[in-house]
Amino acid sequence: MQRLRTFLEQHSDNPALINVIDGLMVACKDIAHRIQLGAAAGVLGSAEQENVQGECQKKLDVISNDILKDVLAAQPAVKGMASEEEELPVAANSAGSLLVLFDPLDGSSNIDINVTVGTIFSILPAREGADAASESAYLQPGNAQLAAGYVLYGPSTILVLTLGNGVYSFTLDPRIGEFVLQREQIRIAADTKEFAINMSNQRFWLQPMQTYVGDLLQGEEGPLGKRYNMRWIASMVAEIHRIMTRGGIFMYPYDNREPNKPGKLRLMYEGNPMSFLVQQAGGKASTAFNDIMDIQPQGIHERVSVVMGSANEVETVERYHQ
């Protein structure tokens, strides 16, 4: 049995990074505990306020955000943070060398129905002299990430992490309060017969996406020549975890409901960290046109079109868009 801290010390020579990931997991254990208590701790339901995205916040969105902010601000290595639930970046320690970006609670619409949610994080280097209270410090492409991961709060609590050298998963053992190593060098199969997309948006997609999904639905009688299965959990963490476990393709593509936005999901704390994990596991992460991690962000809350998972299937989607 290998504990997370020991693993980090063996796989990284950056003490700042090790301490920050350790700190993140202190926060995530607290979040996991509150999710488990649920209604008994009064954490379900709406917070009766909106975030910067104009989305109605759940109580647990706010609670998780506050826990992460408090724990990370106490880490000397954290120079600043950006969160889905904060309009502006939050400066922390001026001598810090790292920036942490996070979606404190992903899949919020699942909280009240007791279905899987998660936390997603991305760690970027803080440039020399950068102002961590200013957005410009954070606007680095996904390829600059030092580490990324998610914590899934499901039947068990699982951390899936990359430090840029493969993907590893850890299960929280509540008997000892520690994350212990579970899977090493996770690989996503190149081919799949399982897709995930919110079909209710079909009429809003670009024509190539409508054609591709139409062909998927034709199964073995269509041009793709195989029968597909479909899943939609409405929690990106849960979908990506399924793909980490048995392959698949996850899509939240551009749609014209809000034509000026490139997609629903957020680039810097959903698209980029998940892309880093998927790519490190041998999969692909694309906008349907380009690699997500090549995008030069223009804002911390920027949106992105997402097509990720099994490499050959993602390449098929890209071909439909050429």
Ligand X SMILES: O=P(O)(O)OC[C@H]1O[C@](O)(COP(=O)(O)O)[C@@H](O)[C@@H]1O
Binders of ligand X in range 16-75 (CB under 6 A): none
The answer to the question of residue 85 lying near ligand X (CB under 6 A) is no
Binders of ligand X in range 234-263 (CB under 6 A): 234-236, 252
How far apart are the C-alpha atoms of 150 and 169, rounded to whole Å?
Answer: 10
Given a contact cutoff of 8 angstroms between Cβ atoms, the answer to whether 283 and 307 are in contact is no
- Closest of 262, 261, 247 to residue 292, by C-alpha: 262
Q: What is the largest CA-CA distance in the chain?
A: 61
**Which residues are 266's β-sheet partners?**
303
Show binding-site residues for substrate.
106-109, 198, 264
Neighbours of 315 (CB within 10 A): 13
What sign does the CA torsion over 128, 66, 280, 254 have? Answer: negative
How big is the site for Mg ion, counted in residues (CB under 5 A)?
A: 4
The answer to the question of residue 239 lying near Mg ion (CB under 5 A) is no
Q: Select the span of 181-189, 207-215, 233-241, 273-281 touching ligand X (CB under 6 A).
A: 233-241
Neighbours of 300 (CB within 10 A): 23
Q: What's the min distance (Å) between Cβ of 147 and Mg ion?
A: 19
The answer to the question of residue 255 lying near Mg ion (CB under 5 A) is no
Q: What's the min distance (Å) between Cβ of 309 and Mg ion?
A: 17
Between 77 and 243, name the residue whose CB sits nearer to ligand X.
Answer: 243
Q: What's the min distance (Å) between Cβ of 101 and Mg ion?
A: 12
Given a contact cutoff of 8 angstroms between Cβ atoms, the answer to whether 286 and 159 are in contact is no
Question: Would you give the binding string for Mg ion spanning residues 55-94, x where CB under 5 A is met?
Answer: -----------------------------x----------
At 79, the amino acid letter reads K
DSSP state of 262: S
Q: List contacts with ligand X (CB under 6 A).
A: 84, 103, 106-109, 198, 234-236, 252, 264
